[in-house]
Structure 1
């Protein structure tokens, strides 16, 4: 190898190492409308606009910049009224107001697919408004990811026995009846890919479409379910012993992911964003210090920043370099 080639290799390696240790040293808040909390999911459209977020009162809101702030974009319940529902955090009103938990774009069509704790799987077009229910009858759908090439939708069902209202009751303990599901928009069928999951969170499909990563917060591990190749239709442990994973999102770099993680350290809940690759190597750990003792739900990367959502905050946190 000549001197120039060696220099270029060293430069690439040095840049990669530098990127792996860069810390997100600025923090900002995208504040929700008055009395609104619970941005558990964040997504950006194919034009980079957003984030679009799900909130506790049954709406999907869109960030329109610091002057305008968040505006109404979509909702999941056909009987929802703004007078009754806007600003509520009462799960007893869920059957009326809805509670969307996760969203994911089909970037080919600009449709947004939604999991709602009361109304199941839904979809809404790029103009927003009332979402259309695609499949119902679930106890507690939670996470979702759309694989835009095929249009297949991968979603998680938290339990066959309890619902979102049970999960906030005193003494609640998750069971092991969670599932990874696939919705095929061509056949409109839902099939079960994995069962027996505990504390299952939001899944994500790899950028090469070969596998799905599925987090289990109770078992503190991430499973990999193979969609292609010699291991197709089998699963394996991808990563473990790093804390409780909540949701996983694809990173900007192909083959990399962001995992929203909670760790218990001396009775304190610490939140982190982990950037990992397809070899289950942790490339970067970002302490989310502004979310101490909070339940974080998602870490979503966009334009060099990471956007952090939580079930208990009235804002989306933005960490930038």
Structure 2
């Protein structure tokens, strides 16, 4: 009898913990960009004191949140041709090659380096003081996502297409192709390896905390694949989960072995209204939680759901703010 009571208490404890973890993040706040600036597609936290978030914006800047009194300030930029007079506040996609178009960020917590995927310039890096970034990998048609293997230092990159760039996606009659690639950059050898090809659409990959696999999204194919890094399946991939909507960037959740996926239902093919949500999955592709963002992100796609200190930071190409959800 005592053992049954103990088991009951243990199960109740687990249920309470899961209920707390799975709360629906009903409190909402905005981190608003400077006037005239839009497109915070990515967010990253880093530095010795884990500050930020840092974010990418449409006019080519990487900005850093300095608290509610100061707001966002300039931190880095990816194009040496960029000038504030020409580029600040621009939403013209044709200015991307001049102003830069950073789409994804990932911090290395040990070195303090911030790695950037820029749609035109490829893989970039900048130090803790910011400024002009340094190009590590060029020649990519449409770099859209990245993540760092914290055990090896290798960097994994999503290159959306071999035939079109980000400007093409806004043209009338645009049709996505299946020429995307999943790449690995080794910072020691400075070599780039193509791990997967023929992918349908981009997004942002996520390396598992134990470094055994990478999750690779395909935006237009509506699925995520698991690419094994070690073990008997090393260097092979398998479909982990299919979605009804379009998965964009994937980020590690705060619970070990779990991930948050930014999903936009009704995006491609277009079936408005678009309904954005965060989907929490485990390493086996089991959906653990869905959080709708449709009330605050009305009929727009989202690109990122980043968990930090129990809050969800949500980014979109079409807003002038990062949404912050808490319990």
**Same fold per superposition (TM over 0.5):** yes
Q: CA deviation at 1:20?
A: 5.2
- Of 228, 231, 237, which residue of structure 1 is paired with 2:230? 228
In structure 2, runs of 5+ residues without a counterpart are none
User: Could you tell me how far apart the structure 2 residues matched to 1:221 and 1:185 are?
Assistant: 29
Q: Is residue 106–residue 114 contact of structure 2 (8 Å, CA) maintained in 1?
A: yes
Residues 48/4 of structure 1: CA separation in 2 closer, same or farther (3 Å cut): farther
User: Could you tell me how far apart the structure 2 residues matched to 1:241 and 1:132 are?
Assistant: 36
CA RMSD, Structure 1 to Structure 2 (Å): 1.4
After superposing on structure 2, the runs of 4+ consecutive aligned residues of structure 1 that deviate more than 4 Å are none
Query: Aligned residue for 1:131?
Result: 133
In structure 1, runs of 5+ residues without a counterpart are none
Q: Is residue 256–residue 278 contact of structure 1 (8 Å, CA) maintained in 2?
A: yes
SS in 2 for 1:121: strand
SS in 2 for 1:139: coil
Query: Aligned residue for 2:151?
Result: 149
1:30 aligns with 2:31: yes
User: Could you tell me how far apart the structure 2 residues matched to 1:190 and 1:26 are?
Assistant: 43
Equivalent residues in 2 for 1:172-321 (5 A)? 172-264=174-266, 267-289=272-294, 290-321=296-327
Query: Aligned residue for 1:94?
Result: 96
SS in 2 for 1:50: strand
| Aligned residue pairs, count | 321
SS in 2 for 1:83: helix
Q: CA deviation at 1:244?
A: 1.2
Give a deviation string over 1:225-251, Cα, whole Å, max 9, x none: 000111000000101134210110000
Bigger CA drift: 126-135 or 41-50? 41-50
User: Could you tell me how far apart the structure 1 residues matched to 2:107 and 2:205 are?
Assistant: 14
User: Could you tell me how far apart the structure 1 residues matched to 2:171 and 2:272 are?
Assistant: 20
SS in 2 for 1:11: helix
User: Could you tell me how far apart the structure 2 residues matched to 1:164 and 1:255 are?
Assistant: 32
User: Could you tell me how far apart the structure 2 residues matched to 1:231 and 1:156 are?
Assistant: 21
Normalized against structure 2, the TM-score is what?
0.95
User: Could you tell me how far apart the structure 1 residues matched to 2:57 and 2:88 are?
Assistant: 10
Bigger CA drift: 241-250 or 154-163? 241-250
Normalized against structure 1, the TM-score is what?
0.97
SS in 2 for 1:102: strand
SS in 1 for 2:85: helix
Bigger CA drift: 277-286 or 257-266? 257-266
Q: Is residue 150–residue 211 contact of structure 2 (8 Å, CA) maintained in 1?
A: no
User: Could you tell me how far apart the structure 2 residues matched to 1:227 and 1:297 are?
Assistant: 25
- Of 51, 54, 57, which residue of structure 2 is paired with 1:55? 57
Q: Is residue 239–residue 280 contact of structure 1 (8 Å, CA) maintained in 2?
A: yes
Bigger CA drift: 87-96 or 201-210? 87-96
User: Could you tell me how far apart the structure 2 residues matched to 1:71 and 1:310 are?
Assistant: 19
